[in-house]
Structure 1
Amino acid sequence: MLRLNETYLGARVTSTEVSRASSAHVDVLARCQAGEARHAGSLGWLHVGDWASDEKIAQVEALAARLRERADTFVLIGVGGSNNAARAALAALGVRDGSLDGTHRVTYAGNTLSAFELRRVLEDLEGHEVVIDCVAKNFETLEPGSSFRLLRQWLVSRHGEKDAASRIVCCGTPGSHLEDLCREHGYEFTTFPEPVGGRYTALTEVHLLPLAFAGVDVRALVAGARAEEARLRDAAADPADNPAWRYALVRRLAWDAGLRVELLSFFEPRFRWFSKWYEQLFGESEGKDGRGLFPASAEYSEELHSLGQYVQDGTHQILETFLDVLEPGAGDSLVLGGQDIDDRFGYLDGADFWDVNKASFSASRSAHARTLPCPTIELDRVDEEHLGRLFYFFMFSCYLSAELLGVNPFDQPGVEAYKQLMFETLGK
């Protein structure tokens, strides 16, 4: 399960205030649970089954199986919402070198314009059998477009046009120029769901395909998301039992109290890429009209020794949301041996690093909660089911939070502004 722990919420925002706000704004919850007609063109993610049905999953699995027979390396070409969720899931599941099963790995391109980094990508592909997947909803974004050209030409130079074509998948909007290219040159084409913005695509084939290639149980991921959807969108349930709703209210009350930053903090480095997904989700969804908490993240315990001082004694404009895993998994235990030399760490004799890390987490949260509101999002464990729940929880929370703040959760005018200036500079 997934739950919101409000025990350490008390500084600047209280559970009583959250309950009071819930009663005052419960109409927002009802509207979002039903899906508002004015956002119909952006709510394809709201019902998981629309784009992750059993039939669609079977299609994704079949394509992934064919690609796995052809290659050991899958290059996901995409930026922001086109790669963040897959990258977040693989890292959270403890994947090393992009591979869950040790034989089929996922690497990334289309998220940088750095010549140094792109050369590194090409060098890393040498000696591997490669397929590439260009994810581009409108096929106008510079980073994936330029990387697709680079990697497509790299494949052709090694395999010839016909064989290279069998190693190329594109995910775009039906009727787009990208689909035309696929039809003309014989590339596999998959559908980027039109009514889903990139940052809300975690549970669609945009991400399910690379995850299936890497050996992830995508059916369990989707099942977790479906279960979370059923819980969060249950209009008959008590709003007090809806953790996404209460989390959204905490964020709005924090804004009203003058807080301007939300720090997503975690003591498991495996959530590093999940935090990047979270930053994009809330940054693009809420950061507009001069409003919105600035989404940032802290990877503890390392950053306790850098950011920790500021978090504890800085400007106190921070809402610090902790992400906590309650149960250790198979690889989460490592016991220290007894004392062999007088290193003055004898108090750690026989200690398990899982417990040491938990002690650091508990102490840090207690200390920070003296001055900051510190809600905690708790997962029972880290597996595909709980990651599916977590993705849906945050997407639905973001929808609720933006509506409470009074901004459109599904546009990104600031991003479009920089793109226009960049294209002018490049002579487009």
Structure 2
Amino acid sequence: MRSFRPLPPLLRGAPFSGAAVPPGVGTAGGKVSFSKGEDRRLSISWSPVTGADCSSAVEILRQILADPPGFIGAIEDQGAIPLAERVAASIPQEDSILLLGIGGSALGARTLVDALVPGDSRLTVLDNIDPEGVDRTLDRLDLAHTTVLIISKSGGTAETAAQLLRVYRALEDAGVSADDKIIAITDPDRGALRELVTARGWRSLPVPSDVGGRFSVMTAVGWLPAICCGIDVEGIRRGAQAVLGDLRLAEEDHGLVRWISGWSAHQESRQTVVMFCYRDRLRTFGDWFAQLWAESLGKRHDLSGAEVWTGSTPLVARGVTDQHSLVQLFAEGPDDKQYLVLDSDLDTADPILDQTTAALHEDLQYLAGKSLGQLHRAEREGTVAALGSAGRPVSTMTLDALDAEHLGALMLTWEMATLMAAAILQVNPFDQPGVEGGKAVAFFKMGRSGWEEQAASITAGAPSITPAAPIPCR
């Protein structure tokens, strides 16, 4: 695991200037762009609420890029995609793909597929261990025509190990050679999965040793499932590379620099970041962002070892649906949140609502000649205006299209934003010590040796909970 090099200490709350930053709707920000042909350019428009001084954010960005983390090196790896393509070519075309994984081992692939293959795809993601859910998934798959991708960086994730045992037995019971159907994506050198690859002759792909799960979407973890679903993975990589090139030239007016400055200025009093996804195909991206942001920033100790109990809470909302639930809280509830409204331009036809059907009732006639897309945009703009007028800090981010290049650019942008936020909070974005306690107790309860002392220490500090009497149903 990469150790995170401390950056110069910054003041929490308003680390860039100490000046008060008024909430409200962001103003025009920067764009990321590169050529996609004679008349198309990748573009992400930002309108961030910003801090009064963005110079410190520029310095943080430059320090990160001067000593880039492993996931940036993975993007530049010219051999990773061809290797994944060769493994994908070994999978029968008629096979469905069952992905076993949890957290970063599953969310990245789901994000790519849900955004770029929004209809039926050949991929099923099993990212939980609810027994009923596992059984339903296995019951509806034709196991004789299913290839299983098991993804675990460490190879020791309990949930993924249990999924493997359950699926392996199901394949064998169906008369299928499980070893012929399994592909493992794991650490290149060590761990239980790597040992099984060697012992059982499974096909496999490596996860770079210096890339953690939640930052692994642009490695074999994301490449192989995406290739199996026909996604242009080279386009995803080009989009990410375009962002890297753009960030290397970034100054104080860059959209990401301005957004992270505004986030920091509001962080002390508004520790929740609402990612309002106004495109159904981006909803899973919101879930991916939530894991990335929460697990990277929520830390008990800072880089000096001091106890700080810091972090920033992500909340994913769906536009326009959550205008009819959460927006009431956002506009008139506690002013403890900051908002990012995410959308993309339509790249499909947007049929017009016709005069005949609008004539069904006079109250419907204002919609005649309009489209769902127009209403969708009007509602998004209305939400932004309403939150801004209520004094809430709200930024917007719009993709010119929702294609492979733009999605790659979007995901790399938020990986970099997460590292910048971690530098501001002075925490390590690459570890997750708070997750380990629950794992220790679970391992102990499941009889795994070596976890007795750690589990006892954790349970000794937990409150004793006496179950309430059951409520009879008559």
Q: State TM-score, norm by structure 1.
A: 0.88
Match of 1:75, SS state, is: strand
**Superposition deviation, residue 94 in structure 1:** 4.5
Residue equivalent to 1:102: none
Aligned residue among 191, 209, 212 for 1:197: 212
Distance in 2 (CA, whole Å) between partners of 1:396 and 1:419 is 28
Amino acid at match of 1:33: L
**Code of the aligned partner of 1:91:** D
Give CA-to-partner distance per residue, 1:273-297, whole Å, 9 cap, x none.
1111000000000011211210111
Q: CA deviation at 1:252?
A: 1.2
TM-score relative to the length of structure 2? 0.80
1:44 is matched with which residue: 55, 60, 70? 70
Distance in 1 separating the partners of 2:288 and 2:88:
23
Question: Contact between 2:143 and 2:176, CA under 8 Å: does it hold in 1?
Answer: no
Number of matched pairs = 394
Q: In 2, distance between residues paired with 1:184 and 1:299?
A: 46
Would the aligned equivalents of 2:294 and 2:314 in 1 still touch at CA under 8 Å? yes
1:281-320 pair list within 5 angstroms: 281-289=292-300, 290-320=309-339
Which of 117, 142, 148 is 1:126 aligned to? 142
1:117 has 2:130 as partner: no
Equivalent-residue separation in structure 1 for 2:119 and 2:124 (angstroms): 11
Within a 5 Å distance, the mapping from 1:203-282 to structure 2 comes to: 203-232=218-247, 234=248, 237-256=249-268, 258-282=269-293
Q: Name the aligned partner's letter for residue 107 of structure 1.
A: T
Q: How far apart are the structure 1 equivalents of 2:225 and 2:131?
A: 25
1:336 aligned residue: 353
Q: Does 1:175 align with 2:189?
A: yes
Whole-angstrom CA distance in 1 between matches of 2:143 and 2:369:
44
Q: What is the CA distance between 1:26 and its match in structure 2?
A: 3.8
Q: Does 1:142 align with 2:162?
A: no
- Counterpart residue number, 2:103: 80
| Structure 1 residue 343, shift from structure 2 partner | 5.7
Radius of gyration: which is bigger? 2
Flag the 1:47–1:246 CA change in 2: closer, same or farther, 3 A. farther
For residues 58-91 of structure 1, the C-alpha deviation after alignment (integer angstroms, 9 at most, x for no partner) is 121122122143x431111110100111111211
RMSD of Structure 2 on Structure 1 (CA): 1.7
Asked if structure 1 preserves the Cα contact closer than 8 Å seen for 2:100 and 2:163, the reply is yes
Report the Cα offset of residue 303 of structure 1. 1.0
Take 1:46 and 1:127, find their aligned partners in 2: how far apart are those partners? 37
Runs of 4 or more off by more than 4 Å in structure 1? Answer: none
What CA distance in whole angstroms lies between the structure 2 residues aligned with 1:148 and 1:288? Answer: 31
User: Match for 2:66 among 17, 34, 37?
Assistant: 34
Structure-1 residue corresponding to 2:343: 324
User: 1 or 2, which has the higher helix percentage?
Assistant: 1
Q: Which residue of 2 aligns with 1:39?
A: none
Distance in 2 (alpha carbons) for counterparts of 1:94 and 1:62 = 21
Secondary structure class of the residue paired with 1:159: coil
| Per-residue deviation, 1:30 | 1.9
1:131: Cα distance to partner? 0.2
Instruction: In structure 1, list runs of 5 or more residues that go unmatched.
Output: 10-14, 37-42, 100-104
Match of 2:203 among 176, 188, 197: 188
SS at match of 1:251: helix
User: Which residue of the partner structure matches residue 407 of structure 2?
Assistant: 387
Distance 1:184 1:94 in 2: 35
For residue 265 of structure 1, report the CA deviation from its aligned partner: 0.2
Change (3 A) 1:123 1:384: same
Aligned residue in 1 for 2:87: 63
- Confirm or deny that 1:165 pairs with 2:179: yes
Report the CA distance shift for 1:127/1:203 in structure 2 as closer, same or farther (over 3 A). closer
Query: What SS is found at the alignment partner of 1:395?
Result: helix
**Sequence identity (%):** 27
Q: Spell out, residue by residue over 1:161-203, the C-alpha distance to the aligned partner (whole angstroms, 9 max, x if none).
A: 3xx3221100111232212211211210110111001000111
Return the offset for 1:108. 0.9
Structure 2 residues not aligned, in runs of 5+: 1-42, 301-308, 449-474
Deviations 1:106-136 (A, max 9, x none): 0011x21211111111112137710001101
Moved more, 26-35 or 376-385: 26-35
Letter in 2 for 1:229: L
- Gap change, CA 1:342 and 1:132, over 3 Å in 2: same
